[in-house]
Amino acid sequence: MPSATTNGATNGTTNGVSSEANGANQQTRPYPPGPPKSSFLTTMNGAPVQKPAASQRIGNNLRATLLLQDINLLELIQHLTHERIPERLVHARGTSAFGWFEVTDRIDDVTSAAFLSEVGKRTPLFVRFSTVAGERGSAETVRDTRGFAFKLRTEQGILDWLFLSTPVFPIRDGAKFPSFTHATKRNPESGLPDHTMFWDYFNNNQEAIHFLMFLFSDRATPVDFQHADCFSINTYRFTKVDGTFKYVKIHVKTNQGVKNFTLPEATQKAGEDPDFQTRSLHNDLDAGNQPSWDVYAQIIDPEVAEHYPINIFDATKTLPYEDFPLRKFGKIYLDKNVRNFFAESEQSAFSPTNIVPGWALTPDPILQTRALAYADTQRHRLGTNFIQLPINKPEFSFTPLNRDGNATFNNLGGVPNYYPSTFFHYGTAPQYAQPDEEHWQGTVIDFESELTDADFVQARIFWEKTLAKEPGQQKNFISNVAAHLAQAVDKVRKTTYAMFTRVNADLGKSIETATEAEVAKNAAPPKPPVKEMGALNIANLEAKQAAHGTGHNVGIFAHKKRNVQA
């Protein structure tokens, strides 16, 4: 019988890397041993290529006809034109690393997740950091939310945590996802960023005001990923085998300290080094540093949630620490860069539907919408069998009902592709008791949440208490909004001033004053009057040409030369 393996590596090694070399975390590397140190080049089918840079041609010189029988040339060009895959609609700009999650404090009273079962237990982890709105090649230090996508390789399957650097989201109705996404992208007519479009959307969807307070604070221009916190935003469930559960929100806090750029600093860095945050993480890990984050849970009892004044499924709101204190239960460490950016970072695929026993989804409408969208977009971007790519493949899975499709690597041979079957024995999966949450009664309706004064309460607290305690941050917030809003049209600006006035009257007035000052400063100077151009005399032009010598225009015009009377 063959020895036990981990991703194709025999005992004592992990994908060709010795256990000792992996260090204390016993990091599982989800790819085979690295490429050879030296080798001759081959075609894709393995045939040797003697002169890789040559091309077959008729005639022993540069000017010659190339031949379609040149297999090496054909392969090189055909592969080159198919190298790119669709970029992510959101989170296109990103970078990745490997590390591990470690349990630091007991949490098994509220969840029976195996990877959280004992203090000191470590779980291999992969993370992809990203901006949200920018394209794949965009500058990283621009104002934006940051994505933190964690892939934990637990013994019960892969668990994906998809968190953001702001504790709130701009929408709470899933059907608004396309409009929100479009409004933060480029104008469909011009292909340019459009600040009028941006602010017009938020003027008409003001439940996002709490999100905007974070977005236009310096929190949205972090120095790098290592110096930023992140949050689950959505509410999940910790579950136990007996069917009991608690609601949970996760907070991940950096141990490097939070560091942010101001707007001028972020703008300057974006111009000097658009890859700054990727470079920072790569250099940090290359130097042997291990950035880390503490992981906390806000635990919410279902009965408390039912009567609490804030809806725990409203992603535009936070839950106060005084009522739901942070409970530390783990720590995330990073220690290794990816070995190939495309194979691992670009081909990595995440979805909130990647869950394991002990962790579950909730009726949070944004979470439910993400559950549909994320796995679907991976099938578009990477193909039906994206889960079979090494970076995404779990240690164990048995899915005989999911078969075929492009790039199938493991198709389970003759195992029946239907269920049940007389010809195959199916074991009994360990299963949790059915939770008592899912008992609903009601009429099916088209529901859309409504804006109320309560939507401005937490934004007001953030302005009057949180930012007020941080020197210079209220001033920075006003100037950050003004610089962006000044590029919108007058009608939209006025509506935005009214929106911020609902947060705080002085804030609305201050933003109006600062923005209109920016508008006046950026106003284009009046254009000088256009002088009427006199009729050109051909004879005069020919005289000028004679004075300057033969020009590039000689002989290129097709009309007949006229006889010019002096």
Contact partners, residue 170, CB within 8 Å, separation at least 6: 180, 202, 205, 207, 208, 211, 212, 316
Q: Look up residue 386 and give its two tokens.
A: 């994206």
Determine contact, residues 220/144, Cβ cutoff 8 Å: yes
**Distances in whole angstroms, Cα of residue 322 to Cα of each of 39, 298, 307, 309:** 63, 11, 16, 14
Count CB atoms within 10 A of the CB of residue 236. Answer: 22
Q: Which residue among the candidates 79, 91, 195, 548 is catalytic per the annotation?
A: 91
Beta strands in 338-433 (DSSP E): 359-360
CA distance 395 to 393: 7
DSSP string, 212-253: HHHHTSGGGSBS-GGG--EE--S-EEEE-TTS-EEEEEEEEE
Q: Which two tokens stand for residue 409?
A: 């690597």
Residue 182 designated active-site: no
Q: Give the Cα separation of 514 and 505 in Å (integer).
A: 14
DSSP letter string, 137-155: TS-SSSS--EEEEEEEEET
Coil, strand, or helix at residue 506? helix
Measure the CA–CA gap between 436 and 469, rounded to whole angstroms.
43
Cα of first residue to Cα of last residue in the chain, in angstroms, is 104
The residues assigned a catalytic role are 91
